[in-house]
Amino acid sequence: MNLLRTVLLHVLRMPAVAAALALSGFAVPALAAWPDQPIHFVVPYPAGGSTDVMARTLGQRMSEVLGQPVIVENRAGASANIGTNYVAKSKPDGYTILLATSTALSVNPSLFKNLPFDPQKDLSPILLAATMPNIVVVGKNVKADSLPELNALIKRDPTQASYASAGNGTPSHLGAELYKRTVGLDVSQIPYKGGAPALQDLVGGQTTFMIAVMPEAMPLVKDGQLKALAITTKNRLPELPNLPTVAETVPGYELTAWYGILAAAGTPEPIVRKFNTVLNDALKDPVISAKFKTMGFDLLGGPPSALTQLMVSETPKWKQVIEAANIKVD
Which CATH number do you get for residue 238? 3.40.190.10
Which residues are paired to 209 by β-bridges? Answer: 138, 163
Element (H, E) at 197: helix 195-203
End of a domain among 197, 222, 248? 248
pLDDT at 10 over 60: no
* Beta strands at 226-231 and 209-213: parallel, antiparallel or unpaired: unpaired
Supply the pLDDT for residue 31. 63
In a domain, residue 205? The reply is yes
- Least confidently predicted of 119-123, 182-186, 272-276: 182-186
Percentage of the residues of the chain whose pLDDT score is greater than 90: 74
Residue 313 neighbours by CB under 8 Å, 6+ apart: none
Residue 131: the pLDDT is: 92
| Number of domains the chain is built from | 2
Where is the domain boundary, 248, 276, 294? 248
Q: Which amino acid is at 68?
A: Q
In DSSP terms, 213 is beta-bridged to 134
| pLDDT score recorded for residue 119 | 97
How far is CA 147 from each of CA 75, 177, 230, rounded to the nearest angstrom? 38, 15, 7
DSSP string, 97-109: EEEEEHIIIIIHH
Q: Do 110 and 202 belong to one domain? A: no
What contacts 257, CB < 8 A, 6 or more positions away? 101, 102, 103, 131, 132, 134, 171, 213
**Both 320 and 307 in a single domain?**
yes
Query: What per-residue confidence (pLDDT) applies to 330?
Result: 62
The answer to whether residue 16 is domain-embedded is: no
Q: What is the pLDDT of residue 327?
A: 84
Q: Are residues 233 and 161 in the same domain?
A: yes
Answer whether residue 272 is part of any domain.
yes
Higher model confidence: residue 193 or residue 22?
193
Domain-embedded: residue 15: no
**pLDDT, the chain, mean:** 89
| CA–CA separation, 195 and 202 (whole Å) | 10
Q: What is the mean pLDDT of residues 203-226?
A: 94
Band the pLDDT of 328: cuts 50, 70, 90. Answer: confident
Per-residue pLDDT band at 168 (split at 50, 70, 90): confident
Report the percent of the chain where pLDDT is more than 70. 90
Q: Domain of 309?
A: 30-132+256-325
Q: Answer yes or no: is 11 within a domain.
A: no
Q: What is the pLDDT of residue 293?
A: 87
pLDDT band (50, 70, 90) for residue 75: very high
Which of 206, 221, 248 finishes a domain?
248
Which of 103, 254, 110 is closest to 171 using CA atoms? 103
The H or E element spanning position 209 is strand 209-213
Query: Residue 40: phi, psi to the nearest 5?
Result: -100, 120
The pLDDT assigned to 227 comes to 98
Average pLDDT over residues 44-57: 89
Q: Are 87 and 123 in contact (CB under 8 A)?
A: yes
When pLDDT is averaged across residues 300-326 and rounded to a whole number, the result is 94
Q: Specify whether 91 is located in the same domain as 138.
A: no
Among candidate residues 160, 154, 172, 166, the one with its CA nearest the CA of residue 197: 166
Residue 276 · residue 304 · CB < 8 Å: yes
pLDDT beyond 50 at 21: no
pLDDT of residue 50: 83
- What tens digit of pLDDT does each residue of 178-213 get? 999 999 999 999 999 888 899 999 999 999 999 998
pLDDT at 233 over 70: yes
Same domain, 75 and 142: no
**The pLDDT of residue 11:** 38
Separation CA 267–CA 246 (nearest Å): 40
Residue 55: inside a domain:
yes
- 75 lies in some domain: yes
**Is 121 among the domain residues?**
yes
pLDDT, mean of residues 270-285: 98
In angstroms, rounded to a whole number, what is the distance separating the alpha carbons of residues 184 and 186? 7
Nearest-angstrom CA–CA distance, 291 and 46: 20
6: pLDDT strictly greater than 50: no
